[in-house]
């Protein structure tokens, strides 16, 4: 029934040139419950079959072949910056310089003042109105929830989206669906180079490392070096460069920018970066600062941009904000924005892309948030007590279950919560089955004995 429902919804969306909103899908399929439609929409987005566009009330769902943005290529063969990404006048000025031929752009080395002149919480790459806008778009959890609560709740989806999109920016040809198959079933996509599969798997490992340690991780050498090591595994010509600060000269392809060459200079600038980024109080400014200065410094032999994209998510994870997944960010738009930083030490083009990319990410992740069930706070507080009580009830089939529950709650639970906790235990007891026995530390034989006596 679920597969049939999914197919019906997908056909409806594919048949509509302008996409469909939730209420339109409900009108077309009155026989399908609203909750089922919402769940299947999330599944279709996860599988890469449809895309969501618009804010919550105006959100519409499109067949990927109609909605997915494509880079414009004029007859001359030269790529045009995507028109669907809004640009400020300053960004257009950067673009006009970057779009000149390689020979017309002036070679430039690392400018230490670019980093050293930044004053945390006084200098702002993202203005206050822009930070408010980003926070409004990305607010996903409650302020008093533990760090990383939201990122852990959406981890499976995050692994697919961020691994796929970040790899795509490096020219990886895996599709979103290929990535899903690789993670869930270990199925390597046909016709793909081994390096592409390794890149995707490395992203998965690195993201898991960040999320699993989000409550203790911070911007320091340990985090950055281990993040780089996870992303670089089996991808660098010299394995000794994995997770190690660069010891040799590097060159940036298609750029006139020349990074620092000596390890001592790189170490000094990395320490300055870490000092400043840890002082920044706003999570979005902290995130964007990382996306600007880590690639600019090039502290590793390679894989600097990938490291910066994942590291930029750390403050968002910790603040329970929607992640920045880079979904549908065109590679040529990102590379030109980074060139603006490299060759001009200007952030406006990357800033405009960051804002657009974050809005694109939140449009999909807020759909997922709506589908996440909120935990019952009372059930959470009394979780261990409920499990122990059910275990005691079933392992003593000679006793009346309801009397046992009343006696247990009267001993342990405050009077103002007693009736509610009793109701929770009775509800758990009524729905128990063989698939839940391990949760309560029960053996099948114990459950069968109790069930034969109490039905």
Report the binding-site residues: 302-309
CA distances 80 to 86, 95, 336, 395, Å, are: 13, 10, 11, 71
Decide: helix, strand or coil at residue 70: coil
Polymer length of the chain: 455
Is 254 within 8 Å of 102 (Cβ atoms)?
Answer: yes
Using alpha carbons only, how large is the chain's radius of gyration in Å?
A: 26
Q: What's the rounded Cα separation, in Å, for the pair 412 and 402?
A: 16
Cα 258 to chain centroid, rounded: 32
Q: What's the rounded Cα separation, in Å, for the pair 311 and 231?
A: 11
Is 199 within 8 Å of 163 (Cβ atoms)?
Answer: no
Q: Whose CA is closest to 199, among 226, 178, 174?
A: 174
What is the helix, strand, coil percentage profile of the chain, to 5?
60, 5, 35
Is 244 within 8 Å of 225 (Cβ atoms)?
Answer: yes
Q: What's the rounded Cα separation, in Å, for the pair 390 and 440?
A: 7
Is 317 within 8 Å of 72 (Cβ atoms)?
Answer: no
Binding-site residues for ATP, in ranges, read: 302-309
């Amino acid at each position: 029934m679920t597969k049939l429902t999914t197919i019906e919804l997908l056909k409806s969306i594919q048949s509509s040139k302008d996409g469909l909103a939730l209420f339109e899908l409900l009108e077309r399929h009155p026989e399908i419950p609203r909750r089922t439609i919402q769940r299947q929409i999330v599944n279709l987005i996860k599988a890469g079959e449809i895309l969501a566009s618009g804010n919550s009330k105006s959100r519409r769902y499109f067949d990927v072949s109609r909605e997915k943005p494509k880079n414009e290529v004029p007859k001359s063969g030269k790529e045009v910056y995507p028109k669907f990404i809004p640009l400020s006048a300053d960004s257009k000025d950067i673009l006009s310089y970057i779009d000149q031929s390689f020979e017309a752009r002036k070679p430039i080395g690392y400018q230490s003042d670019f980093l050293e002149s930044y004053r945390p919480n006084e200098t702002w790459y993202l203005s206050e109105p822009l930070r408010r806008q980003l926070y409004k778009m990305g607010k996903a959890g409650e302020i008093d929830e533990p760090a990383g609560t939201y990122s852990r709740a959406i981890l499976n989806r995050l692994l697919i989206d961020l691994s796929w999109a970040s790899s795509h920016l490096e020219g990886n040809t895996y599709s979103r669906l290929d990535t899903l198959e690789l993670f869930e079933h270990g199925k390597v996509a046909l016709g793909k180079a081994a390096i592409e599969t390794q890149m995707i798997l490395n992203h998965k490992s690195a993201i898991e490392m960040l999320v699993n340690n989000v409550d203790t991780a911070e911007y320091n050498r340990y985090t950055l070096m281990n993040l780089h090591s996870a992303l670089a595994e089996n991808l660098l010509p010299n394995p000794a460069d994995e997770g190690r600060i660069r010891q040799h000269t590097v060159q940036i392809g298609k750029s006139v920018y020349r990074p620092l060459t000596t390890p001592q200079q790189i170490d000094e600038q990395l320490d300055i970066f870490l000092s400043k980024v840890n002082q920044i109080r706003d999570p979005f400014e902290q995130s964007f600062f990382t996306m600007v200065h880590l690639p600019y410094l090039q502290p590793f032999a390679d894989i600097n941009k990938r490291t910066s994209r994942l590291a930029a998510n750390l403050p968002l994870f910790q603040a329970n904000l929607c992640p920045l997944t880079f979904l549908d960010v065109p590679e040529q738009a990102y590379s030109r924005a980074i060139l603006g930083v490299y060759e001009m030490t200007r952030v406006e083009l990357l800033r405009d892309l960051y804002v657009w990319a974050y809005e694109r990410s939140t449009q999909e992740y807020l759909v997922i948030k709506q589908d996440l069930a909120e935990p019952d706070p009372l059930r959470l507080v009394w979780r261990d007590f409920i499990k122990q009580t059910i275990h005691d009830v079933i392992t003593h089939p000679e006793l009346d279950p309801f009397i046992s529950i009343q006696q247990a709650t009267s001993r342990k639970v405050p009077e103002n919560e007693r009736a509610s906790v009793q109701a929770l235990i009775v509800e758990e007891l009524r729905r128990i089955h063989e698939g839940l026995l391990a949760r309560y530390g029960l053996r099948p034989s114990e459950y069968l004995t109790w069930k034969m006596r109490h039905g």
